[in-house]
């Protein structure tokens, strides 16, 4: 099975749990995490849902997400441009781009490992 080159780390929030629903990033970076160029995209809420909402449970919506493209050494952050954005959200996504996964999670480490195995 082919693994898509882009891996999304979503910050999924419900309307009622704005900050608490967005888990805290680990202080430690994923070992061997590459330096990625961070590109931030202020887009419509609709586009955020389209790009980031795949992991959202019913009733939840994504406020932002970070997409890793290891091949291009690039990390795209997508966030909704309408309404005030909690600065915590952007800082959180930037943390993902720098290699910080959510506390207790290893999705980013697994994504990097899968990429390295694919590219030899």
Q: Does 108 bind Zn ion (CB under 5 A)?
A: no
Least distance (Å) between residue 1 CB and Zn ion: 25
Is the CB of 50 or the CB of 118 nearer to Zn ion? 50
Rounded distance between C-alpha atoms, residue 114 and residue 30, angstroms: 13
Q: Which of 76, 101, 94 is nearest to 5 (CA)?
A: 76
Q: Does 12 bind Zn ion (CB under 5 A)?
A: no
The sign of the torsion formed by the CA atoms of 109, 32, 72, 82 equals positive
Q: Does 11 bind Zn ion (CB under 5 A)?
A: yes
Is the CB of 43 or the CB of 90 nearer to Zn ion? 90
DSSP per position, 74-105: EEEEEEE-SSPPPHHHHHHHHHHHTTEEETT-
Rounded distance between C-alpha atoms, residue 71 and residue 48, angstroms: 23
Q: Does 77 bind Zn ion (CB under 5 A)?
A: no
Is the CB of 70 or the CB of 102 nearer to Zn ion? 102
- Of 8-16, 42-50, 81-89, 109-117: span binding Zn ion (CB under 5 A): 8-16
Is the CB of 11 or the CB of 112 nearer to Zn ion? 11
* Residues at the contact surface with Zn ion, assessed by CB under 5 A: 11
């Amino acid at each position: 099975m082919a693994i898509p080159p882009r891996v999304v780390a979503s910050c999924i929030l419900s309307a009622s749990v704005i900050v608490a629903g967005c888990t805290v990033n680990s202080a430690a970076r994923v070992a061997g995490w590459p330096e990625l160029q961070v590109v931030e995209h202020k887009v419509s809420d609709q586009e955020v849902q389209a790009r980031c909402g795949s992991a959202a449970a019913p009733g939840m919506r994504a406020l932002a997400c970070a997409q890793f493209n290891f091949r291009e050494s690039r990390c795209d952050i997508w966030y909704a441009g309408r309404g005030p954005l909690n600065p915590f959200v952007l800082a959180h996504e930037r943390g993902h781009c720098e290699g910080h996964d959510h506390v207790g999670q290893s999705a980013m480490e697994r994504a990097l490992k899968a990429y390295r195995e694919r590219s030899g």
